Amino acid sequence: MEEHLSYNSSNPLGFCLLPSELIQSILLNLALPEIVGLKLVNKTLATVISDQTFVRECNTRSSSAAWLFVFKKRWSKDAMLMGFTDRSASNRWFKISIAKILEPVVPPGEVFYFLTASGNIFLFACNRDKEVMAVDLMAKTVKKVPPSPLGPRGTSSWRRSGMKLVPGGPPGSGRFRFLFAELVEDRPTLFVYDSETDDWKRMEAEETEGRSRSRGEGLDGRIFLHLVNGPGSNVIISCGSESLSPLVLRPGFSGGGNQGREPNGRLGWDYSANLIHVYGDGHMMIVKSSDGDAARKRTRFLERIEIWGSSEDGRNWEFVSEIPRSLVGQIEKPYGVLMGCLEERGGIIRACLVSNCEGAWDMIWLSYDKARGHWAYVPIPDSKMTGSNLAGISFSTGLNL
């Protein structure tokens, strides 16, 4: 028989009696929102979690973590930011409360769209007033980003532009830079906002055609903003994270050794309407779906998925990898991909493919590790978004305490 079964409240079971390093070892298995949630349990745990060394360790793990954030809305009230991480610790969606932070600053009836996030900073576009708000989750502040040199922009304009939010200082400092790309009089132009100086810089990107590359100028560590995305025409601005020097990349499928051959022809040369393209960070994911059989005509199924990346000189799309058939088989459910988002960070490409089947949203997270050549499928639990609108989706790093 077991001893120690007396749940006498004056003799609490050992959890809080464990040495704090052991409590911390246990907590490090949890996702950050869960760890912070434990602060409410009792004072011992609140103290253990506030310990500086532990906080540093949490932050280190968090900044290399991958999170998917989704903003769901049912009418203009009832908007909810949700986050999911692929770390085995969780496997559920976490609700991120932003309403209280936004309320004081934003007029009632304003409609938001979630643009992008990085660390603790989350950017929202306000549809009515055509403003951009930067929410700092930890500082609980909202900063209005002044209009760019292009003037106030509505949500649909923002959704068209390639954009990126990057840290502008040490993690947790609240400093950030917001970059986006737009065609101004047909010329690819880079716009950069710096929260430190609270103003915008505007730089026309330099064409790479015929330009000789200086030694050591590769594409690593550069930021990519996808500007024009369409079959036969892709324009990307690539810039450095510190010294911008924006360049124009125009990758295409002309010539080169990448020619597909039927029937295993690469999807890159398939111009049929059955394809969805998802772009991000200098890469493109091509998704081919096929119709179900005659009885299930209205459902579609994933058939093939390929990843392509821009060549170093920005002239060609280069084939990176195709998802193994066995993995496609694992994602068995009917799946009509509508759209998605893609990021590349630390040599890992992550894509979220979103489908909506009769009002029910579904999301698939796929990862490809370039160095190991390894694909992974991360099942995402039901987001319980049926009947809601998806008002923005983006990958990001974890939060910083």
Partner 1 sequence: MATSRKVTLLSSDGESFEVEQSVAVESITIKDSIEEGSAGNPIPVPKVNSKILAKVIEYCKKHVESAKAEDRVDDEDLVAWDADFVKVDQATLFDLIRAANFLNIKSLLDLTCQTVADMIKGKTPEEKRKTFTIRNDFTPEEEEEVRRENQWAFE
Of 14, 107, 218, 230, which lies in the binding site for partner 1, with binding defined by CB under 8 A? 14
Does residue 183 bind partner 1 (CB under 8 A)? no
3-state DSSP percent of the chain in helix, strand and coil, to 5: 15, 40, 45
Does residue 5 bind partner 1 (CB under 8 A)? yes
**Nearest alpha carbon to residue 316 among 269, 261, 264, 255:** 255
Of 61, 92, 144, 175, which lies in the binding site for partner 1, with binding defined by CB under 8 A? 92
| DSSP 8-state assignment for residue 38 | G
Name the minimum Å distance from CB 398 to partner 1.
Answer: 13
The three state secondary structure string of 233-297 is EEEEEEECCCCCCCEEECCECCCCCCCCCCCCCCHHHCCCCCEEEEEECCEEEEEEEEECCHHHC
CA atoms within 13 A on the CB side of 360: 10
Of 38, 102, 150, 276, which lies in the binding site for partner 1, with binding defined by CB under 8 A? 38
Name the minimum Å distance from CB 395 to partner 1.
Answer: 18
Name the minimum Å distance from CB 30 to partner 1.
Answer: 5
Of 9, 52, 264, 326, which lies in the binding site for partner 1, with binding defined by CB under 8 A? 9
**Rounded CA separation 1/153 (Å):** 70
Cβ neighbours around 235 below 10 Å, total: 20
Identity (one letter) of the amino acid at 296? Answer: R
The dihedral through the CA atoms of 195, 200, 203, 205 has a sign that is positive
Please, which residue, 44 or 356, has the CB nearer to partner 1?
44
Does residue 77 bind partner 1 (CB under 8 A)? no
Does residue 25 bind partner 1 (CB under 8 A)? yes
**What tokens were used for 205?**
């990107």
Of 55, 65, 89, 219, which lies in the binding site for partner 1, with binding defined by CB under 8 A? 89
Q: For partner 1, how many residues bind (rule: CB under 8 A)?
A: 46
**What tokens were used for 55?**
């906080």
C-alpha angle with apex 272: 270 to 276, nearest 5 degrees? 85
Does residue 219 bind partner 1 (CB under 8 A)? no
**What tokens were used for 115?**
């643009």
Name the minimum Å distance from CB 129 to partner 1.
Answer: 24
Does residue 318 bind partner 1 (CB under 8 A)? no
**Nearest alpha carbon to residue 54 among 20, 83, 4:** 20
Does residue 26 bind partner 1 (CB under 8 A)? yes
- Return the residues of window 100-129 that contact partner 1 according to CB under 8 A: 100-101
- Binding string, 39-58, against partner 1, x = CB under 8 A? xxxxx-xx------------
Please, which residue, 36 or 228, has the CB nearer to partner 1?
36
- Binding string, 133-172, against partner 1, x = CB under 8 A? ----xx-x--------------------------------
The answer to whether the peptide bond before residue 263 is cis (omega within 30 degrees of 0) is: yes
Three-state DSSP state, 209:
coil
Name the minimum Å distance from CB 113 to partner 1.
Answer: 19
Name the minimum Å distance from CB 19 to partner 1.
Answer: 8
Cα 209 from chain centroid (whole Å): 31
Query: Which stretches of the chain bind partner 1, using CB under 8 A?
Result: 2-5, 7, 9, 12-19, 22, 25-30, 33-34, 36-43, 45-46, 89-90, 92, 95-98, 100-101, 137-138, 140, 399
